[in-house]
Amino acid sequence: MLTKRNNTKKIKIGTVEIGGGNPVAVQSMTKTKTADIDATVKQINELEKAGCQIVRCAVPDKESALALKEIKQQTQLPIVADIHFNHQYALLAAEAGVDKLRINPGNIGSLDKVKAVVAAAQEHGIPIRVGVNSGSLEKEILKKANGHITAEGLVKSALQNVKMLEDLGFSDIVVAVKATSVPMTVQAYRLIAQKIKYPLHVGVTEAGIPRTGIVRSAAGIGAILGEGIGDTIRVSLTGDPVEEVRVGYEILKAMELTYHGVSIISCPTCGRTDVDVVKVAEEIEERTRQIKQPLTVAIMGCEVNGPGEAADADVGLAAGNGVGLIFREGQIVRKVPEAEMIEALMDEIESMSIR
């Protein structure tokens, strides 16, 4: 790990600790109706299988809040209840046994309602995430900026809401200051990291469909993590939440902040390539998704960028002219016909991994 991470307060979310030097945790959010217990449990289990460490559920109504108790009993992941506008849902969620509340104190209502939420969090020993984003700024902050959303406005809102909780004697706090703009998001996290020592939940809000949302999330989250900022991340994509988890881990691996699972490096292909590198790489990626042990696998399309250029890989394949060369740590260990090279590579990967 090349980046020195900011020192933040340690907060416990169920069985997961964030801040205080703990590894950056990957989280996601269910896309089901929370009141549909079976569908929500199914999706949480899928997320857990993908490596998700914390999962958030929307609580837009009383039925959803009440469903959380049964959902908690049927799942293992720490659950965060996402609350807006109605503080009663937060109280019900805390009673149901959730592991964290996500609120924006500014839109929960009167101070007495915020006090009630804080009292419930204290009683049940759960933290609160102050979640500020570009769609939830207070009117007075927007007015002072002539109606414009700014990084400074996001931070001001977060600090006001944090102070509200602190004034009530509550300090088990996680903070997020997300925007749809990548540069604004990066700047907001730079500013908030200078002001507080609470753990930061990082993400680019409403990043979009996977094709573009992955790029925007990687650019924003990667830039923030690269400055040592961030204790947990969520990639916000329009689509399957399992993909959010996979992308989250790929960002952490790219920033060398985790060594979870298989990292595949593959050549971009060119006129020298004689095999379908794309097909090979995609099949190996699919077949190694459940491997948790950190391994770097190289898939190269010719002798130019074969074992030499991928010498740091744990195991790899250099393919061309109807054959595949299987190598470990830069040394060729097998030569197989092209038709057998995928299975030969999988044999080597599985011999080095623990499922």
Per-residue confidence (pLDDT) for residue 304, from 0 to 100: 60
Distances (CA, A) of 27 to 24, 202, 246, 278, 288: 10, 10, 10, 29, 21
- All domains in the chain, ordered by first residue: 11-254 (3.20.20.20), 262-352 (3.30.413.10)
Distance in angstroms (rounded) separating the CA atoms of residues 88 and 294: 44
Burial class (CB in 10 A: 0-12, 13-18, 19+), 9: middle
CA-nearest of 189, 288, 261, 183 to 231 is 189
- Reduce the DSSP state of residue 88 to 3 states and report it: helix
Distance in angstroms (rounded) separating the CA atoms of residues 115 and 335: 69
Distance in angstroms (rounded) separating the CA atoms of residues 25 and 201: 9
Residue with tokens 């939440």: 241
Per-residue confidence (pLDDT) for residue 15, from 0 to 100: 95
Per-residue confidence (pLDDT) for residue 3, from 0 to 100: 66
Overall pTM > 0.85: yes
Per-residue confidence (pLDDT) for residue 290, from 0 to 100: 82
| Contact (CB, 8 A) for 79 and 71 | yes
Per-residue confidence (pLDDT) for residue 260, from 0 to 100: 77
CA-nearest of 103, 106, 77 to 91 is 103
Structure tokens at 190: 């730079």
Per-residue confidence (pLDDT) for residue 245, from 0 to 100: 96
Q: Could you read off the pLDDT tens digit of each residue along the chain, which spans 355 residues?
A: 556 889 999 999 999 999 999 999 999 999 999 999 999 999 999 999 999 999 999 999 999 999 999 999 999 999 999 998 899 999 999 999 999 999 886 677 788 999 999 999 999 999 999 988 877 777 788 788 777 889 999 999 999 999 999 999 999 999 999 999 999 999 999 999 999 999 999 999 998 999 999 999 999 999 999 999 999 999 999 999 999 999 999 999 999 998 778 888 888 888 877 788 889 999 999 998 888 888 899 998 876 656 666 678 899 898 888 888 898 888 888 899 989 999 999 999 888 875 4
Report the 10 Å Cβ neighbour count for 174.
24
58 forms bridges with which residues in the sheet? 82
Phi, psi for 218 (deg, rounded to 5): -65, -40
Structure tokens at 153: 């406005």
Distances (CA, A) of 286 to 74, 138, 245, 262, 294: 28, 45, 15, 10, 16
SS (H, E, C) 243-285: HHHHHHHHHHHHCCCCCCCEEEEECCCCCCCCCCHHHHHHHHH
Per-residue confidence (pLDDT) for residue 303, from 0 to 100: 63
Distance in angstroms (rounded) separating the CA atoms of residues 191 and 2: 22
Strands 25-29 and 54-58: parallel
| Contact (CB, 8 A) for 43 and 32 | yes
